Amino acid sequence: MTQAPPTPKAIRRRHDREIIALAVPAFGALVAEPLFVMADSAIVGHLGTAQLAGLGVASALLMTAVSVFVFLAYATTAAVARRVGAGDLQSAIRQGMDGIWLALLLGAAVIAVVLPTAPFLVELFGASDTAAPYATTYLRISALGIPAMLVVLAATGVLRGLQDTRTPLYVALAGFIANAVLNVGLVYGADLGIAGSAWGTVIAQCGMAAAYLVVVVRGARKHHASLRPDAAGIRACAQAGVPLLVRTLSLRAILLIATAVTARLGDADIAAHQIILSLWSLLAFALDAIAIAGQAIIGRYLGAGDADGARAACRRMVEWGIAAGVVLALLVVLARPVFLPLFTSDSVVQDTALPALLMVALSQPICGVVFVLDGVLMGAGDGPYLAWAMVVTLAVFTPVALLVPVLGGGLTAVWGAMTLMMTVRMVTLWLRARSGRWIVTGATR
């Protein structure tokens, strides 16, 4: 007797279970990164406005130095998931090991650049004379943890591709707790000030990298995958990551331009911007949890040759993204009287941040669609299109943002430009998803 095909409702329920199983743990792991910044901001913010402003500039630079290499997680997730879908676990883990070796090489290179140029980079961002010394101190110390941060990215990609988002959750939770305890102890207990915050973060990141390496090495031995660096494999990982690097550089350029424009508005504006950016990052990573599920699920479906399953999963995840964006928007509006005092007691900074905070709330449904479609196309290995779309977005955003101080706009206008940026991203990604050209099946794209 022939079994009846599943109903649309049954298919939606199946996708919902897959999304929840991957997205919920991924959410916990993803928010660890902005929570690191938020914890640092809350602790340093009570040292003074100049220290918080310095942290704002240094954090933007540090996150740029790390986030431009986020392809170590995204490209690895897609490549590993495709091989999992094709049933080749040994090749999947070998692909992940190549990504980890690449992460170590890139981390060493970044340290070599950042340490001697830290004062110049801080000055380039237009930090005030009072904030610049704090920014330089934080940046130089935190740079020492960059190799560990990149290893965390690559190893996380391996586990996501293997459809495991629980292990990253456990490691991230342990890292966040360690970071918070170390920061309080070193900043106030040891009286190290902003330097203590930087050292606490470095130690926590190194601990997380060590935990990930233990898990990945154990998996490699189980499936008889080589742990040795392979020049051809590392080179292939780097080449596959180039389009995503272009995409990420364009996105980081947008965030850097926004910070640089705000820094020239004054210490109160850049301090408020640091608080808002911390929240925006937290919300973005929360929405990205669905996108992470998308990367793993889409990669697995395409690796298994199931194009229809990939299309259905994409549609369902977009619905989830919109719903999550609406919920987050409401939470931001309701929590605004409590949120701002957590980070600063300066009434000027609070008043400056409030209207920008409401702008962030209004943009959340748009962000929900953007992050989900971004994840779907990454899972499909559609890096070249993502690179092109982000370059177009940068071209639209830049003149608008640079006009803010010229026209006398403030922090709210800067975040209005950020909302425009997300709208442009939504349009370009929706057009690609609708075309179906991203659907390419097989163990490799």
Say whether 51 sits in a helix, a strand or coil.
helix
Contact 332, 286 (CB under 8 A): no
pLDDT of res. 32 = 67
What is the widest separation between alpha-carbon atoms in the chain? 79
State whether the Cα torsion 232-235-237-240 is positive or negative.
Answer: negative
Rounded to 5 degrees, φ, ψ at 229 are: -65, 135
pLDDT of res. 41 = 79
**Alpha-carbon gap, residue 143 to 348, rounded angstroms:** 31
Contact 275, 268 (CB under 8 A): no
CA dihedral 190, 193, 197, 202 (to 10 degrees): -70
Q: What is the pLDDT along the chain (445 residues), one digit of tens a residue?
A: 455 566 777 777 887 888 888 888 887 777 666 677 777 778 887 788 788 888 888 887 887 777 788 888 888 888 888 888 888 888 888 888 888 999 999 999 999 998 999 888 888 877 778 888 888 999 999 899 999 999 999 998 899 989 888 898 899 889 888 988 998 899 888 888 888 888 998 999 999 999 999 998 888 888 888 888 888 888 888 888 899 889 988 988 898 899 888 888 887 888 888 888 878 887 887 788 888 888 989 989 998 888 988 898 899 999 999 999 999 999 988 888 887 887 777 778 888 888 888 899 999 999 999 999 999 999 998 989 999 999 999 999 999 999 988 887 788 899 999 999 999 999 999 999 999 899 988 877 7
Nearest to 65 by CA among 109, 120, 126, 29: 109
- Judge if pTM exceeds 0.75: yes
Length of the chain in residues, anyone?
Answer: 445
Q: What is the CA radius of gyration of the chain?
A: 21
pLDDT of res. 132 = 86
Nearest to 302 by CA among 444, 89, 435, 92: 444
pLDDT of res. 1 = 43
pLDDT of res. 329 = 93
Cα angle 153, 380, 374 (rounded to 5 degrees) comes to: 65
